[in-house]
Amino acid sequence: MNIGKQFKEGLLLQNPVTVQLLGLCSVLAISTTLFNGIGMGLSVLVILTCSNIVISLLRKIIPSKIRIAAFIVVIASFVTIVDLLLKAYLPALSESLGVFIPLIVVNCIILGRAEAFAYKNGVLASAIDGVAQGLGYTVVLIILCVFRELFGNGTFGGGLLNGGDGIRIIPEGYPILDLILPVGGFLTCAFLIALSQWLVARMNAKKKEEVAE
């Protein structure tokens, strides 16, 4: 188990959003304020880590033929817990994220890591994988939220600062409003994916040069 490698993969080399292209539905839909990004990112991180741990613990007794159904039951249990906690303690965030919290049950990131990693590895490695992949998702989501909110609405920290309105950075009338619309989500995400792919390709090329030397 290489902890550094797992975090490197989760944050960049195998980032669930920019490399594996998973969970794009929620990323594109709710990445309009920093509050949404932090809330959704941490929710996915907690659910992914907890699900990985439980699935890893049960991997030897879950029959292969019903493993997907078993994964969904485990994931749905943690999604329900997180959903109820948000409604109880952060109702504004729960209302803002809406249906996308319950939809984490079928989020490809969670199911993908359960199938590809947690079902085949030990508890500690699975827990680290959950944290690494969850952080990768959260970092990308927060970057998108900050960019879209700043250049689309002209504010920073929407939902968190200045009574929830955020701190105005760009005067009204100057922001590019299209960035907070669906088309802005697609364009911003595409740019981030392209940048990530360029960084990964550059790192791989540098690694090949070092091996050749």
- Give average pLDDT by consecutive 10-residue segment, the chain, 213 residues: 86 90 87 91 95 95 92 95 95 90 88 92 94 95 93 88 85 85 90 92 83 72
Q: Is residue 153 part of a domain?
A: yes
Q: Is residue 2 part of a domain?
A: no
Instruction: Count how many domains the chain has.
Output: 1
The model scores a pTM over 0.75: yes
Taking a C-beta distance cutoff of 8 angstroms, is the pair 54, 130 a contact? no
Q: Range of 179's domain?
A: 16-212
**Largest Cα span, the chain:** 60
Q: Is residue 8 part of a domain?
A: no
CA atoms within 13 A on the CB side of 145: 26
Q: Is residue 9 part of a domain?
A: no
All residues at 6 or more sequence positions from 139 whose CB lies less than 8 Å from its CB, including other chains: 11, 41
pLDDT at 4: 87
Distance, CA of 81 to CA of 18 (rounded, Å) = 28
The single-letter code of the amino acid at 57 is L
Alpha carbon 100 to chain centroid, angstroms = 12
Q: Is residue 41 part of a domain?
A: yes
SS (H, E, C) the chain: CCHHHHHHHHHHHCCCCCCCCCCHHHHHHHCCCHHHHHHHHHHHHHHHHHHHHHHHHHCCCCCHHHHHHHHHHHHHHHHHHHHHHHHHHCHHHHHHHHHHCHHHHHCHHHHHHHHHHHCCCCHHHHHHHHHHHHHHHHHHHHHHHHHHHHHHHCEECCCCCHHHCCEECCCCCCCCHHHHCHHHHHHHHHHHHHHHHHHHHHHHHHHHHHHHC
Tokens representing 99 are: 């249906």
Taking a C-beta distance cutoff of 8 angstroms, is the pair 68, 7 a contact? no
Please provide residue 183's backbone torsions phi and psi, each rounded to the nearest 5 degrees.
-60, -35
Alpha carbon 200 to chain centroid, angstroms = 19
pLDDT at 48: 95
pLDDT at 150: 92
pLDDT at 142: 94
pLDDT at 178: 85
Q: Is residue 6 part of a domain?
A: no
Distance, CA of 100 to CA of 117 (rounded, Å) = 24
